[in-house]
Chain A
Amino acid sequence: MLASDFAQLMPDGCSAVLENMFFASVVDVVPEQSAPSLSDEAYTFGLRFSEDYCGSFGLQVDTKTAAFFAASFLGEDESDLTVESVKEVVGELANMLCGSVMSRANSKRKLVLSHPEPLESAPLAEAQDFYVVKLETDCGAVTTWISMEQTPVAA
């Protein structure tokens, strides 16, 4: 499977998570040529998926949008949230987005996800096959990307 095959799967998979668990509606989908740079004004997380498909998934969300998402997800006021709890939510968002997208890629294939971690180097720096999309929601933007490392072995 190629990263470009995710052009429709990414918006569909991400929308389901954002709407059901973060109460944010996707209003625009903008493919990007590259992943965003790391920024002090944003949280950037990544994780790896393996088993039948291998690759990595990442997201970046600015700190203000992340705080809003965290408040929605946890059902708490933004003023009561710590930076640590917001980061935990962004990590869980990355986990759920990846799971939702990959499950749509092939509903029969097993999925193993690594623990989401904050990225400390430029995303996709050495990736050959990747797809990046920015999802504009009514609460702020989320940029997500996927990088495929090998094609699956036929079942």
Chain B
Amino acid sequence: MAYNILIVDDSPAMRRVVKRVLDLSGVEIGQELEADGGRDALTKLRSEWVDLIMTDINMPEMDGEELLLAVRQDPMLASIPVLVVSTDQSETRVKRMMEIGADGYVSKPFTPERLSSEINRLLGGGEGVVGGGSLDAGF
């Protein structure tokens, strides 16, 4: 089964890095969609089916917390797993995001193995299933 993934981050560089981890994760990818913020993400979510949302928090206009709330409040989107990928490692933030419905939280900096493990877990591949290309050589 090929999965559609939406990557939400206002940093084009970070979106490229996440895409690279996805490509090396062993998960069969259908489409890798990108959004540069919460509003852009919602627009894309309402036109394409997505199996996993990976989102940053600190983004202009609509941040990751607002996006997550909007997703969980929309019956058409509420069941989509959401993985938060953020520089904010504070207990307050992590707790808040999990309380409002995030399914996982990976803080930056991250190792490709860590991010890949979470992706596989949320897509039903079990814990730490890493296949395909080598992640040991880094990104």
Contacts and interface: CB of A to CB of B under 8 A. Distances in A.
Q: Do A and B bind each other?
A: yes
Contacts of A107: 89-91
A146 to B, nearest CB: 15
Contacts of A106: 90
Grouping DSSP codes into helix (H, G, I), strand (E, B) and loop, the A interface class, with mixed when no group exceeds half, is helix
B90 A74 contact: no
Given A96-B108, A100-B108, A115-B10, A21 B88 contact: no
A21 B112 CA distance: 9
Given A88-B12, A91-B13, A96 B88 contact: no
Interface string A16-56: 11011101000000000000000000000000000000000
Interface residues of B, number: 26
Contact of B90 (A20, A70, A108): A108
A84 to B, nearest CB: 9
Nearest to A111: B88
Interface string A106-146: 11111111110000000000000000000000000000000
B13 A89 contact: yes
A4 interface: no
B92 A92 contact: no
Interface in B27-77: 58, 60
Interface of B: 10-14, 16-17, 20, 58, 60, 86-93, 96, 107-111, 138-139
Given A17-B108, A74-B13, A113-B88, 9 more contacts: A16-B109, A23-B138, A72-B138, A74-B17, A88-B12, A103-B89, A111-B87, A114-B58, A115-B60
**Pairs A-B, 6 closest by C-beta atoms:** A99-B87, A103-B89, A20-B109, A88-B13, A75-B139, A111-B88
24 contacts: A16-B109, A17-B109, A21-B17, A21-B109, A72-B138, A74-B16, A74-B139, A75-B139, A91-B13, A92-B14, A98-B87, A99-B87, A99-B108, A100-B89, A103-B89, A106-B90, A107-B89, A107-B90, A111-B58, A111-B87, A111-B88, A111-B90, A111-B93, A112-B58
